[in-house]
Structure 1
Amino acid sequence: MPQKQTGDYIVNSCTMYIKPEEYGNRLFSVIGEVEDEILSPLKPFSIIQKSCAYYGVDYEGRRKGTRLLIDYSRKLPIVIEPINNIYTFCTASPESPKCIWFFAEHIKDYRRVSARETLVIFRHNQTHIFPVSYNTFNTQMLRTSYLQMKLMQRVEFSKKQLAFMLHGTKPSKASESNELYLNERK
């Protein structure tokens, strides 16, 4: 059982995963952070929704934005907070009591353990075995990477547009002087 407990948790740059845990007849969340494991009485999906709202956009808005960017409709990765690179993906339907949420920034590697289990190696060399198939985990990692790439492309394109609007085009300079050609015309 995790050492720390909280009733109010917001995803942050230290969050590595949020997994469901049954205690009696209630579903709680075990939150893996870089230095800690925390128990929350909230369901994993509630923490994700609350965290999106905390950073200024509701979950549905994030979900719709993802769908527009990467053109998928199921088990969508979510950008919780793009400035700090907080992207998450789910391993099942978000409302499912078996759904685990992973935060891509912390994942160093992952390997198949069995047909229904994957070993996840986090950046700080912590390892955990999770009850999710390797294929599901790999697909979700790829979708999350694709979402990150598409969002970065849009940001870069916007930066280039802004630079063009502020500075316009600059005339190109020839590598040789035009004096030679001006003298020939005389």
Structure 2
Amino acid sequence: MKQKIIEEYEVNSSTMFIKPVEYGSKIYSQIYEADGEFLSPYKPFDIIKHSCEYYLADYQSRRRATKDLTNYTRKVPIAIEPSNDIFFFPTASPESSVCMWFSLSQIENHLPAPGAKTKVLFQNKQSLLFDVPFATFNNQMERTSHVKAKFLQRLERKGNKKTFYLINRPKLGKASETQREYTNHSKTPNPK
């Protein structure tokens, strides 16, 4: 199956994970979304940094905010766009050529697998095996959940109910009404 190569990509609420792949002599990113796969000529870390900028922040600011909130200093989870529930975590040092990035909201479950691997079940019911020790993966998920919880606590403490609602809003469904064209049936008097 030939994958579509895309030049620009920002992580979004459908992004499941990004993993590095060798493409010739370079490292590209294989991007998995809930309903598709893409290949990018950029490294996963570059996509994460670009995504922070796309959502009007820079990576270092997001990293520093997480560090201030939690005291984490290594393999820091990143709140790329908290109001859209986009929290990602690295599986290794972000600069490492083997580092993958996972979206917390897309993971339904994770289990240990033979050979120091982790089996991940995603929200779209897809199940994949990764070369990441279960203890590492589990720790990174817990840390990212902690970052999200601390962020929500901060919002509640500040009394920012509007932002709190945006993050925890119910998923929108289809409207029960059908679209109709409304016309104005009122008669305007004729000028004499």
Cα deviation, residue 116, structure 1:
2.4
Cα deviation, residue 3, structure 1:
2.5
User: Normalized against structure 1, the TM-score is what?
Assistant: 0.84
Does residue 44 of structure 1 match 2:44? yes
Partner of residue 72, structure 2: 72
Amino acid aligned to 2:61: G
Report the 3-state secondary structure (helix = DSSP H, G, I; strand = E; otherwise coil) of the residue aligned with 1:16. Answer: strand
> Structure 1's 61 and 46: CA in aligned 2 closer, same or farther, altered over 3 A?
same
Amino acid aligned to 2:46: S
CA distance in 1: counterparts of 2:92 and 2:122, whole angstroms: 20
Number of residue-to-residue matches in the alignment: 162
CA distance in 1: counterparts of 2:114 and 2:50, whole angstroms: 33
Partner of residue 110, structure 2: 110
Cα deviation, residue 72, structure 1:
1.1
CA distance in 2: counterparts of 1:15 and 1:113, whole angstroms: 23
Bigger CA radius of gyration: 1
Amino acid aligned to 2:44: P
Cα deviation, residue 4, structure 1:
2.0
The structure carrying a bigger helix percent of its residues is 1
Amino acid aligned to 2:19: K
Does residue 83 of structure 1 match 2:50? no
Partner of residue 99, structure 2: 99
Report the 3-state secondary structure (helix = DSSP H, G, I; strand = E; otherwise coil) of the residue aligned with 1:74. Answer: coil
Identity between Structure 1 and Structure 2 (%): 47
Paired residues of 1:118 and 1:132 also in contact (CA < 8 A): yes
Report the 3-state secondary structure (helix = DSSP H, G, I; strand = E; otherwise coil) of the residue aligned with 2:22. Answer: strand
Paired residues of 2:7 and 2:41 also in contact (CA < 8 A): yes
Gap regions ≥5 residues in structure 2? 163-192
